[in-house]
Chain A
Amino acid sequence: MSKYSMHLLVCGGTGCHAAESDAIVCNLRDELEAKVLTDKVQVIKTGCFGFCEKGPIVKVMPDNTFYVQVKPEDTQTIIDEHIIKGRKVTRLLFKDPSTKEAVSDSKHMDFYKKQMRIALRNCGFINPENIDEYIARDGYQALGKVLTEMTPDQVIREIKESGQRGRGGGGFSTGLKWELAKKSVSDEKYVVCNADEGDPGAFMDRSVLEGDPHSVLEAMAICGYCIGSSTGLIYIRAEYPLAIQRLKIAINQARENGLLGNNIFGTNFSFDISLKYGAGAFVCGEETALIHSMEGLRGEPTIKPPFPAESGYLGKPTNVNNVETFASIPAIILKGAKWYSSIGTEKSKGTKVFALAGKINNVGLIEVPMGTTLREVIFEIGGGIKNGKKFKGVQTGGPSGGCLTEKHLDTPIDFDNLIAAGSMMGSGAMIVLDEDDCMVSMAKFFLDFTVEESCGKCAPCRIGNKRLHELLGQICEGKGKIQDLDRLKNMSVVIKDTSLCGLGQSSPNPVLSMMENFRDEYLAHVTDKKCPAGQCKSLMKYIINAENCVGCTACARVCPVNAITGERKEVHLINQEICIKCGACYEKCKFDAIYIS
């Protein structure tokens, strides 16, 4: 990076990419060329900065100026003002929501202050399409160290001592997993990276692969060395074209640099990696299903044991870890197990990446030490609830997790605390809900997902979830009975207790936790036939307030089903039998005369 005096880092993650960050890169380059600055200033398209809410983001180095919500037409100003005249473009700086002051350095933003980046250490700092930048930030040093100074057993011991647990959802000890795969005797073994992130609202794996693909490749090679494998496979969603493209580039560059292929670092260790594409099946996040999918079959899980460590891909011992797990490995090797295990809680070490989304001000990707509280994540990093609404709950672990509430806000986040609170870590999606979200509808939404994604192999998941979904639908429509709550619970418990794989074993979690934490809301639906959040259409009524109605007839004219009657200048009336609850009248009324009951 020495040749240039300045760098412009443009976020090229999917979120910013979708918001025309490519055009920003082009424009910046054109401007620089026009101003003959190309030998002094370099434009680099990086991976995700994490602060997606404010994207596209352009960062100017070395002064660390963080421009937010940049548009392609802003590029001229950035070059003219900042690069040439040395004046920061204030209007593009982040405004602190409480002080209303512009903050130029991301270090001082609440969003970044409490974060600690291990898995995401390079995301937003390097050009993911240039291996030299990864190497410049200690890339492949861990692999070198492992191959030349450590035995596989030493590496495994180090990983075990670090206390790292799998980030894919299960939370199984990474070191232990590697040890089991190493112990299996076979002529061939496989290292598999699970990059089939299917959890709706989760995008941490994709961001790592887009922003720092080499960290995963390096870790897979380390794993290969430990368990005795020379073949790595990355199972990646076909819906992630950018990540696929960057992985392909990274693999090629690693091969060209002798970091993949035969005799890596001059040792007799050989390792290479190829890609296998997923095709849209959430259940393939389950490792046995993933393996069947890689074998060209339907992604149906099979009963464990045998575990993949004994019999996995093509019947050979296979070690499956997810992207985030791998991405932290090089850092653990270089900085040591002691360092890593000093971060986090007693049983959950290190950091965890979360995808923060939903009704929250700062949507984005964050990485925090285990043990950070939900309150810190949601209200400090996340900047609180959008539009000043009231916090209602946060769904962690996606459709397999549970919904945590106000009372859990000060719980330190780790694997065990989340389970104790009736949820789970999952892959790290965090969806924040506010007072407008109905907890019966939310549960139904998640079940809708599970029903669609169930592979259909076992009866409780295939049929049970469908029945759960139907019963929730009945309740949303005001056809629920009080006994139905017991039925919901019994079905949920049995589905959890009897399903074949993790998908069915966890799919009723949203229902159970929401029923537990929002019992009143469920009761309101079945006994009073009311939806307190005003979400369930069948349970709401549009009513005209006679005091405010001036008889302008606007509502009657806009009603698509002629449910509103009334003479001009007289109070109007909505016929509830005919009303389809489309809300057109409500939107139209200028006199606040229509309210929702």
Chain B
Amino acid sequence: METVKLTIDNKEIEVPRGTTILKAAKELGIEIPTLCYMDLHDLNIENKPGGCRICVAEVQGRRNLAPTCSTKCEPGMVVKTHTARVLNARRTVMEFILSDHPKDCLICPKSGTCELQDMAHRLGIREIPGQEFAEMSTYRQDTSPSIIRELNKCIMCRRCEMMCNDVQTVGALSAFNRGFTAAVGPAFEQNLEYSSCTYCGQCVAVCPTGALTEVNHVPQVLKALNDPTKTVVVQTAPAVRAALGEEFGMEPGTLVTGKMTAALRALGFDYVFDTDFAADLTIMEEGTELLDRLSRHLKGDKSARIPILTSCCPGWVNFFEYYYPDMKDVPSTAKSPQQMFGAVAKSYFAEKIGINRKDMVVVSIMPCLAKKYECQRDEFSVDGNPDVDYSISTRELAAFIRQANIDIRNLHDEDFDSPLGESTGAGVIFGATGGVIEAACRTAYEIFTGKKLDRLDFTELRGMEGVRSATLDFNGTPIKIGIAHGLGNARKLLDDVKHGRSEFTAIEVMACPGGCIGGGGQPLHHGDSEIIKARAAAIYTEDRKKPLRKSHENPFIIKLYEEYLGKPGSEKSHHLLHTHYFDRKDKILVKK
């Protein structure tokens, strides 16, 4: 590999050609501050518009200061990162940015996790000259079912725009206006509701300031918990346990399943259940649907569409409803685990404990913001009573725990309640990209072949590559599996399906890069993809530790079918656990 030698702050270093000054400096232990820059290299996501100009440094012989995030190292370069000129420039630019930013840090939802606030602290900004006559750029606030946009706090880092367009190809956000009034938003500055937004929340996940935040549902949950007439049931998604600890200073990848359960119980939930249970249920339904379609397809039935697409991810559902409405019969009709849980809790379980569904409040803890939208969809309610009442994110749960004076670090591990808290390892791995399809294969293989699997870890389905594929041998029948995470990657596979080029039998799609562990409601990764990888590792550890690792072996699932549903794909199952899709584009565009 060709290398270049250069000097940064009087230290010599040799780096591969093409390395940026920022990265070379990092190797020397010099942390040049950055604001708009973000690099999730494992996921192939990079944002460096060169817009904030905070990362500038002096390069000998250069007329102006160089943005180190995007200036490549050249042989013999002499770089200084903290001269008086650099420090003054950095401070002045920061003062500019702050002069056009609201000063309500004390009550901002991003307070404490705001990168702009941290930077102001790091640079020691103590005053903003000229603030008394500085005009501020102002925009209207927008509250959608999942996301709040407060563009007064936008600093034009363009991360959200990059996520929405380059990574997710959703195209809901774009920079608009120019100069001082420029910001990022949907067309015509309308509300997100009237855009192609899927509520995947990746924009929120990367926003360095309080410009994009989630809608907070904690107050409603608190109210329900304090209502003596309500039985409050909580379900927690697999990815939450692998990330919640980060909010309390634990190492990324620390599993806090037991502590989380204890905390939820301490918060006052009547039943602490697990979405993993519903994940096992999903496998039963979706797996049955897959096998049914596959066998009909193999018999030459043209109406049996192959590949089958997973449907547990609400961001993904929103995406194909908007961009591929003509293909809405391709994804599995199985509801997502969150909604299956809600449907079962408010029917089977409500009956079991003898209460009316109206007196039950189902709360979900999700790594996801689209789940907030999903539980509000009309088709997921009975007589106006939603199957899942409130969905709160991992971040909201952490805030709730802090507000309730619960010291989660020192709680003793507790178990989930029964019966909807019992799950297998297959349910756990739903949280990582490739997990749903791996779980499905564990079950589908045994049902399809009638044989026992001798190896449960389908490692060929794991990893962080955006699009992956593998062919599994189902006793002589090749099953081609496709996996995409990130909607841009999903689009590639979907276009193939649309044009009849797809060779896959089944495709798993997760809207968020990394799957649910990288969801829009997770603790902020601040651009560190190591965190996402650590969460994935934790998920697979939890799977390995489980005594049962195949959904169809979950005794409580077996019991649910025996007592209530009959068998997978039965009429009752269809009624409770399956759904249908809409053409979303028709609903939201300005009428033509």
Q: Do chains A and B touch in the complex (CB under 8 A)?
A: yes
Size of the A side of the interface (Cβ < 8 Å), in residues, is 35
Interface centre among A305, A455, A467, A471 (most CB of B within 10 A): A467
| Complex alpha-carbon distance, A500 and B96, angstroms | 15
Using CB atoms and an 8 Å cutoff, list the residues of chain A in contact with chain B. Answer: 281, 298, 300, 302-303, 305, 451-460, 462-464, 466-467, 470-471, 474, 479, 487, 490-491, 494, 496-500, 505
Do residues A498 and B65 form an inter-chain contact, with CB atoms below 8 A?
yes
Do residues B130 and A462 form an inter-chain contact, with CB atoms below 8 A?
no
Within 8 Å of chain A (Cβ to Cβ): is B399? no
Q: Of residues 78 to 135 in B, which have CB atoms within 8 Å of A's CB atoms?
A: 85, 88-89, 92-93, 96-97, 99-100, 129-130, 133-135
With A457-B51, A500-B51 as known contacts, state yes or no: A494 contacts B179, CB within 8 Å.
Answer: no
Within 8 Å of chain A (Cβ to Cβ): is B565? no
Can you name 13 A-B pairs with beta carbons within 8 Å? A300-B175, A455-B178, A457-B50, A459-B97, A459-B155, A460-B53, A464-B93, A464-B96, A466-B100, A466-B180, A470-B135, A496-B64, A500-B51
Chain B: CB-nearest residue to A454: B179
Contacts of A487 in B (CB 8 A): 129-130
Within 8 Å of chain A (Cβ to Cβ): is B182? yes
Do residues B51 and A454 form an inter-chain contact, with CB atoms below 8 A?
no
Do residues A490 and B56 form an inter-chain contact, with CB atoms below 8 A?
no
Within 8 Å of chain A (Cβ to Cβ): is B70? yes
With A462-B156, A497-B65, A498-B65 as known contacts, state yes or no: A456 contacts B179, CB within 8 Å.
Answer: yes
Do residues B93 and A494 form an inter-chain contact, with CB atoms below 8 A?
yes
Within 8 Å of chain A (Cβ to Cβ): is B315? no
Of the residues B92, B133, B156, contact of A457 by C-beta under 8 Å: B156
Q: Of residues 559 to 577 in B, which have CB atoms within 8 Å of A's CB atoms?
A: none
Contacts of A451 in B (CB 8 A): 179-180
Chain B: CB-nearest residue to A464: B96
Closest Cβ of chain B to A227, distance in Å, is 25
Chain A: CB-nearest residue to B157: A459
Do residues B56 and A454 form an inter-chain contact, with CB atoms below 8 A?
no
With A303-B50, A499-B53 as known contacts, state yes or no: A456 contacts B178, CB within 8 Å.
Answer: yes
Do residues A456 and B53 form an inter-chain contact, with CB atoms below 8 A?
no
Within 8 Å of chain A (Cβ to Cβ): is B49? yes
Do residues B100 and A463 form an inter-chain contact, with CB atoms below 8 A?
yes
Contacts of B179 in A (CB 8 A): 451-456, 462, 466
| Complex alpha-carbon distance, A595 and B445, angstroms | 99
* Given contact pairs A462-B180, A463-B96, A466-B100, a sample of 18 additional A-B residue pairs in the complex whose CB atoms are under 8 Å apart: A298-B175, A302-B50, A453-B178, A454-B178, A457-B49, A458-B51, A459-B51, A459-B155, A460-B53, A462-B182, A463-B100, A467-B99, A470-B133, A471-B130, A498-B89, A499-B53, A499-B64, A500-B67
Contacts of A464 in B (CB 8 A): 92-93, 96
List the 3 closest A-B pairs by CB distance, nearest first.
Answer: A456-B182, A454-B179, A463-B96
Chain A: CB-nearest residue to B71: A303
SS of A interface (majority): helix
With A459-B155, A498-B65 as known contacts, state yes or no: A474 contacts B53, CB within 8 Å.
Answer: no
Contacts of B50 in A (CB 8 A): 302-303, 457-458, 500
Contacts of B89 in A (CB 8 A): 494, 497-498
Do residues B92 and A494 form an inter-chain contact, with CB atoms below 8 A?
yes
Q: What 0/1 pattern do residues 150 to 191 of B give for CB contact below 8 A with A?
A: 000001100000000000000000010111111000000000
| Complex alpha-carbon distance, A470 and B99, angstroms | 12
SS of B interface (majority): loop
| Complex alpha-carbon distance, A305 and B62, angstroms | 14
Within 8 Å of chain A (Cβ to Cβ): is B52? yes
Contacts of A462 in B (CB 8 A): 156, 179-180, 182
| Complex alpha-carbon distance, A474 and B100, angstroms | 18
Do residues A458 and B92 form an inter-chain contact, with CB atoms below 8 A?
no
Do residues A505 and B64 form an inter-chain contact, with CB atoms below 8 A?
yes
Do residues B92 and A454 form an inter-chain contact, with CB atoms below 8 A?
no
| Complex alpha-carbon distance, A464 and B180, angstroms | 9
Do residues B130 and A470 form an inter-chain contact, with CB atoms below 8 A?
yes
Of the residues B70, B88, B96, B178, contact of A303 by C-beta under 8 Å: B70
Contacts of B178 in A (CB 8 A): 281, 298, 453-456
| Complex alpha-carbon distance, A452 and B56, angstroms | 25
| Complex alpha-carbon distance, A452 and B134, angstroms | 16
| Complex alpha-carbon distance, A470 and B134, angstroms | 7
Closest Cβ of chain A to B420, distance in Å, is 50
Chain B: CB-nearest residue to A456: B182
Do residues A497 and B97 form an inter-chain contact, with CB atoms below 8 A?
no
Do residues B51 and A467 form an inter-chain contact, with CB atoms below 8 A?
no
Do residues A454 and B130 form an inter-chain contact, with CB atoms below 8 A?
no
Do residues B96 and A456 form an inter-chain contact, with CB atoms below 8 A?
no
| Complex alpha-carbon distance, A370 and B482, angstroms | 66
Contacts of B51 in A (CB 8 A): 457-459, 500
| Complex alpha-carbon distance, A298 and B156, angstroms | 14
Q: What 0/1 pattern do residues 19 to 61 of B give for CB contact below 8 A with A?
A: 0000000000000000000000000000001111100100000
Closest Cβ of chain A to B512, distance in Å, is 27
Do residues A456 and B180 form an inter-chain contact, with CB atoms below 8 A?
yes
| Complex alpha-carbon distance, A84 and B99, angstroms | 72
| Complex alpha-carbon distance, A70 and B534, angstroms | 82
| Complex alpha-carbon distance, A577 and B71, angstroms | 56
Closest Cβ of chain A to B584, distance in Å, is 26
| Complex alpha-carbon distance, A457 and B181, angstroms | 11
Do residues A467 and B67 form an inter-chain contact, with CB atoms below 8 A?
no
Contacts of B85 in A (CB 8 A): 497
Chain A: CB-nearest residue to B98: A463
| Complex alpha-carbon distance, A139 and B67, angstroms | 46
Do residues A459 and B53 form an inter-chain contact, with CB atoms below 8 A?
yes
With A464-B93, A464-B96, A470-B135 as known contacts, state yes or no: A458 contacts B70, CB within 8 Å.
Answer: no
Contacts of A456 in B (CB 8 A): 156, 175, 177-182
Contacts of A474 in B (CB 8 A): 133
| Complex alpha-carbon distance, A3 and B53, angstroms | 65
Do residues B93 and A459 form an inter-chain contact, with CB atoms below 8 A?
yes
| Complex alpha-carbon distance, A458 and B56, angstroms | 12
Do residues A491 and B64 form an inter-chain contact, with CB atoms below 8 A?
no
Contacts of B64 in A (CB 8 A): 496-499, 505
| Complex alpha-carbon distance, A294 and B368, angstroms | 39
Closest Cβ of chain A to B570, distance in Å, is 53
| Complex alpha-carbon distance, A498 and B52, angstroms | 9
Do residues A498 and B53 form an inter-chain contact, with CB atoms below 8 A?
yes
Closest Cβ of chain B to A105, distance in Å, is 48
| Complex alpha-carbon distance, A300 and B156, angstroms | 13
| Complex alpha-carbon distance, A332 and B205, angstroms | 58
Do residues B180 and A491 form an inter-chain contact, with CB atoms below 8 A?
no
Contacts of A298 in B (CB 8 A): 175, 178
| Complex alpha-carbon distance, A343 and B21, angstroms | 43
